Structure 1
Amino acid sequence: MGTSPQNEFITMKKSLFATLGVLSMSIASLTACTNTEKDSERYPDKYVNTEMEYKSSFGDIVDVMKSYFTTERAEPTPTFELPVHAITAEQLIDEQSDVVYRLGHSSVIMKLDGQLVMADPVFSDRASPVQWAGPKRFHQTPITLEALPNIDVVVISHDHYDHLDKASVKALANKVDHFIVPLKVGDYLIKWGVPSEKVTELAWWESHSVNGIEYTLAPTQHFSGRGLTDRDSTLWGSWIIDSKESKVFFSGDSGYFGGFAEIGEKYGPFDFTMIETGAYNELWSQIHMFPEQSVQAHIDVKGKVMMPIHNSTFDLAMHDWYEPMNKALEISEERGVTMVSPEIGQRLDIANPMPVTKWWQQ
């Protein structure tokens, strides 16, 4: 989400200082590229979407403010303790099957071909540039950063605060063998202490293999930026992860667009998809999908089993916290899509997914 209108305003209501902090997402912009061979075509000043240019203004923030104060919500946050299954390092190390564990929001850890792969690890209490204000977690993470075993690969979808968490990256710098990220996002990681030899940056449709697993960055319809001066200065995208036994798709953040069908034609079918389903609103519908679009995106990429992500951890929109799961399940049943929704930290076997239980309903 990062500097998207809803996240800007959610923090805005905390305090004036927090408003300015999230609106700017801290004044510090992306540091200069250290690779002198970076050319202007591969590393432009601004990246653009394939189908549209997303722009927002102060007027958009005003519209969000009006909507926030006039929208009635039954449950913006959970009214009961969410079920969280503790995960141990031994459990992850000993796992023999291809599995997925939701850590919260869009953060997941997978075991694929005997390797541990994480996507968008966010362990901080708040999705914010400051930890004293901003959207706060609904639940604890099922494992702490300190308890994690060595991780083979971490992929990052884009640089917004609910996907690229500085504190988590710094803690993982010595625990992760390799980070694979969109263009220019690697500069953040290196600045935060990750050795440059551990970082690989990719453009859309580029691939990189680690220990026999191929990672491909594909387009999304979104934007990037952590400050006032770095809008769209880093690339964003989704991840195609092709292992020996399983092919999975991790959507990152995106509005619905024709790129999903292109991904499906080039790389489908997928055994398992993790699709953004949450923090949606008509005010920013170009860059985040409604549940019906999320289900369609799963169909477009030719997925077999869909797990909604980007929900159930932070209050980032004006819908009730449980609405994305309810709507996604209803629509997936109507469309004949197999949807799964494991509880936070619950083991999900990609080859043998468990039936949905409505854990989000008390």
Structure 2
Amino acid sequence: MASTQTSFVTTVTKPVPSKARPDDADSKPHHATPGKVFKNPWPSFVYRPGRSIGLELVYRSWTGKAKKMVTEGHGIPVQKATFLPSRHIKSTDAGKDAASSDGRLLSQDTIRATWLGHACFYVEFPSGLRVLFDPVFEDRCSPVSWFGPRRFTEVPTTIADIPFVDACFISHAHYDHLSQATVLRLKEKHPNCHFFVGLGIKKFFTGLGIDKCTELDWWEDAELRVRSEDTADKAAAAEIAAQVSCLPAQHASNRGAFDENHSLWASWAVCSGGKSVWFAGDTGYRAISADIPEEARSKYTPELHRRFPCCPAFKQIGELKGPFDLGLLPIGAYEPRLLFSSLHSNPYDSVNIFVDTRCRRALAMHWGTWDLATEEAVMEPPEMLKEALRSKKLPETGVFDTCGIGESVEV
């Protein structure tokens, strides 16, 4: 794989306000305290401190109210992930195709996305750009290696097996989305990888000696450029360009007990080579109240849809930044709804987000990897996703799909 020996250098322009942004973007309604503490500025969100959610989960467990997630025999397919060995694309003119080491090429109008578990996707753009979203390759998502949620499905690859990582996008600072050990291995294997993070997270990276990090606010854009240092390698693109947008999500962020919402959570849009991906990160859609019967909290009837406001940011994203060729959307870690509806989307929420953001296709994530003390059955999210698609009169397959861990999907 001669092409993998080529050195690629990344550069990023200074972040600028997006040309397409909502009227209230300049007033920054999500800044509770400028530059220090952030908030979800919509009626679709009901604030509950993270500590109170944790205590409620402990209480439910002690009193026997909690439904334990059974992970044994889960049935989630896991395979070894494979990646394209070069940045070559398949030209429409077959005579101009460049041969990669094993003959695998990406068409010039195709995105290839590989699910690496939970919220981690590796995306190969037809331009040659290669990016990671929310990589966590550890056995536990926790500040310590001996305690905390344990992975119940295997990691389908290692960082050493990934041939190129030009950029890495972090949605927020929670441990199941940001891992210090993973970041350090990425720095070692891919020293030119550039990290994109929300406000307040850059100091985490500078503390690890990483200076290739750009911190953005919602509705800010930056341009990423990747160029080969080996001018003799005609196989490598002379320069790859990508437009990066930091966009809203409805969630929270912290690393410890006393820094709740001191850093910003975000979704990300990346466009390169004429193809676009929207990564939702971790997000809720609306808050459900206690007066709704428990059996009705997960599914939305027209009456519930009218009663509980949805987050308006997703329609703004779709109208101002969409449509997107591919959306990467969360569907898991949502029960009990009274605790998690503001923070985590269930499949019905996710299908609404899919429609609002004007994604042409979508792949599901944020399920099937960690037991995060939520109470839905392991295989409930993909089953409920089909129900939710039917409720919107959308096809059950070929539009918003699940895939196996380690599986690659071309869109």
TM range (shorter): 0.7 to 0.9
Q: 1:71 aligns with which of 66, 75, 81?
A: 66
Residue identity opposite 1:302 in structure 2: R
CA distance in 2, matches of 1:72, 1:207: 43
CA distance in 2, matches of 1:132, 1:232: 26
> Relative to structure 1, is the Cα distance of residues 349 and 207 closer, same or farther in structure 2, using a 3 angstrom cutoff?
same
CA distance in 1, matches of 2:370, 2:381: 13
Alignment of 1:75-86 (within 5 A): 76-79=70-73, 82-86=76-80
CA distance in 1, matches of 2:193, 2:183: 12
Please state how far the C-alpha of 1:146 moved relative to its aligned partner.
Answer: 2.3
Residues 35 and 199, structure 2, Cα contact 8 Å, conserved in 1: no
Alignment of 1:328-347 (within 5 A): 328-335=385-392, 336=394, 338-347=399-408
Please state how far the C-alpha of 1:200 moved relative to its aligned partner.
Answer: 0.7
Unaligned residue ranges in structure 2 (runs of 5+): 1-30, 88-99, 226-240, 286-310
Alignment of 1:238-253 (within 5 A): 238-253=267-282
Q: Secondary structure at the match of 1:151?
A: coil
Q: 1:192 aligns with which of 190, 208, 233?
A: 208
Q: Does 1:279 align with 2:279?
A: no
Give the corresponding residue for 1:236. 265
> Relative to structure 1, is the Cα distance of residues 182 and 60 closer, same or farther in structure 2, using a 3 angstrom cutoff?
closer
Q: CA RMSD in A?
A: 2.1
Alignment of 1:109-120 (within 5 A): 109-112=122-125, 113-120=127-134
Please state how far the C-alpha of 1:149 moved relative to its aligned partner.
Answer: 2.0
Unaligned residue ranges in structure 1 (runs of 5+): 1-39, 351-362
Rg: which structure is higher?
A: 2
Residue identity opposite 1:347 in structure 2: S
Q: Does 1:107 align with 2:98?
A: no
Q: TM-score, normalized by length of structure 1?
A: 0.79
Q: Does 1:326 align with 2:387?
A: no
Give the corresponding residue for 1:289. 345
> Relative to structure 1, is the Cα distance of residues 340 and 92 closer, same or farther in structure 2, using a 3 angstrom cutoff?
farther
Please state how far the C-alpha of 1:91 moved relative to its aligned partner.
Answer: 4.0
Please state how far the C-alpha of 1:192 moved relative to its aligned partner.
Answer: 1.8
CA distances 1:72-123 after superposition (whole Å, capped 9, x unpaired):
45x5214156432223455465542420000000001000121111000000
CA distances 1:239-286 after superposition (whole Å, capped 9, x unpaired):
111122321111011110111111111111111111111000221211
Give the corresponding residue for 2:37. 46
Give the corresponding residue for 2:183. 169
Please state how far the C-alpha of 1:160 moved relative to its aligned partner.
Answer: 0.4
Alignment of 1:130-149 (within 5 A): 130-149=144-163
CA distances 1:169-204 after superposition (whole Å, capped 9, x unpaired):
01111414211111121111121232x1x1111100
CA distance in 1, matches of 2:408, 2:86: 10
Aligned length: 308
CA distance in 1, matches of 2:71, 2:280: 24
Please state how far the C-alpha of 1:238 moved relative to its aligned partner.
Answer: 0.3
> Relative to structure 1, is the Cα distance of residues 105 and 57 closer, same or farther in structure 2, using a 3 angstrom cutoff?
closer
Give the corresponding residue for 1:264. 318
Give the corresponding residue for 2:106. 96
Residue identity (%): 32
CA distance in 2, matches of 1:200, 1:125: 28
Q: Secondary structure at the match of 1:234?
A: coil
CA distance in 2, matches of 1:132, 1:243: 40
Please state how far the C-alpha of 1:226 moved relative to its aligned partner.
Answer: 0.6
> Relative to structure 1, is the Cα distance of residues 156 and 62 closer, same or farther in structure 2, using a 3 angstrom cutoff?
closer
Please state how far the C-alpha of 1:323 moved relative to its aligned partner.
Answer: 0.8
Q: TM-score, normalized by length of structure 2?
A: 0.70
Q: Does 1:55 align with 2:48?
A: yes
> Relative to structure 1, is the Cα distance of residues 141 and 328 closer, same or farther in structure 2, using a 3 angstrom cutoff?
same
Q: Secondary structure at the match of 2:54?
A: helix
